[in-house]
Structure 1
């Protein structure tokens, strides 16, 4: 199957087979894919929680509009962003760039000063919105990788972030939950499993300018 066939195969699973568990190899692929996601300036203002504790998953169902996929899924992925974001993250990023690429300060400093100024002039509310946008990039990447790896998934905005933060003790880690992605294997009796995908004609969604 090519990538388009895989994307045709993918859908938002309504019922997972709770008896089937993803292998550690598949989980490792998702971890690597998340870490390789493109983010603005490469700053990676994101954290991925991978939950396989069924007691925790069960508790989170009540904070997810009672969507059963949260418990039925093999694993529950939660994408988080920092509650407070500062220029310290820029400093860490450029330290990493220097370590990995051995780039001189003369080359790095102008860009570092620019990014520091960009972060400094934004409010925490603006930075939170900016970082949330990065979370959607990560979600899109994970959905595509899931399809390619024959991992079923169901992207969710339908949950109460504050309750997730409370259950998962995220505030202590300066984190805020943004998106939820149950992953695993579709159930044989999921009513959505064999339905045709509904999409607009490509001529309605794509414009070519030459």
Structure 2
């Protein structure tokens, strides 16, 4: 399939085939895709939890508006952001840039100074909102990669983040759950499987200026 065919094939799965499991190669592709996601300034203020534990998945269903996909899916992906974000993360980023690219300090320091000041002047609430935006970038990227890899998925905002944080011990890691993505294989009796995709006409959603 080409990319448009793949996106046409994709839909938010309502029922997964719980007997099927994604290969480790497929999971590794999703992990790499997550790590390659574009983020603001390249800071990557995100973590991805890859859960393949039916006991944990079952416990999380009650905190996901009882959506069964959380348990039925082969794996459950949870995108998280830091609860508190500090300028030390900027220092780590520029150290990595220097290590990988061997960029001279004379070039790096002005941008590092600017970015440190930008982080410093924001409140933690502002930084949390900013980082949550990066989580949506990662989700969009993962959905596209899933479509290209013939991996079924169902993006979810319908869950209780605070309860996920407790169950998954995220608070100890300074993390807060933002988005959930069950992945696996659609069930043959998923009522949504063969329904036509509903989208506006492209002339209503795209404005061309030339």
TM-score, with structure 2 as normaliser: 1.00
Shift of 1:95: 0.1
For 1:2 and 1:182, how far apart are their aligned partners in 2? 24
For 1:173 and 1:198, how far apart are their aligned partners in 2? 40
Query: Can you give the 5+ residue segments of structure 2 that lack an aligned partner in the other structure?
Result: none
Structure 1 residues 29-178: aligned runs within 5 Å: 29-178=29-178
* Over 6 Å off, 4+ runs: none
Residues matched between the structures, number: 210
TM-score, with structure 1 as normaliser: 1.00
Q: 1:155-178: CA deviations, max 9, x gaps?
A: 000000000000000000000000
3-state SS of 2:140 partner: helix
For 2:78 and 2:70, how far apart are their aligned partners in 1? 11
Shift of 1:115: 0.2
Structure 1 residues 183-194: aligned runs within 5 Å: 183-194=183-194
Report the equivalent of 1:197. Answer: 197
Shift of 1:180: 0.1
Shift of 1:136: 0.0
Shift of 1:24: 0.1
Shift of 1:102: 0.2
For 1:199 and 1:192, how far apart are their aligned partners in 2? 15
For 1:168 and 1:20, how far apart are their aligned partners in 2? 24
Shift of 1:27: 0.2
CA RMSD of aligned residues (A): 0.2
For 1:194 and 1:9, how far apart are their aligned partners in 2? 10
Report the equivalent of 2:25. Answer: 25
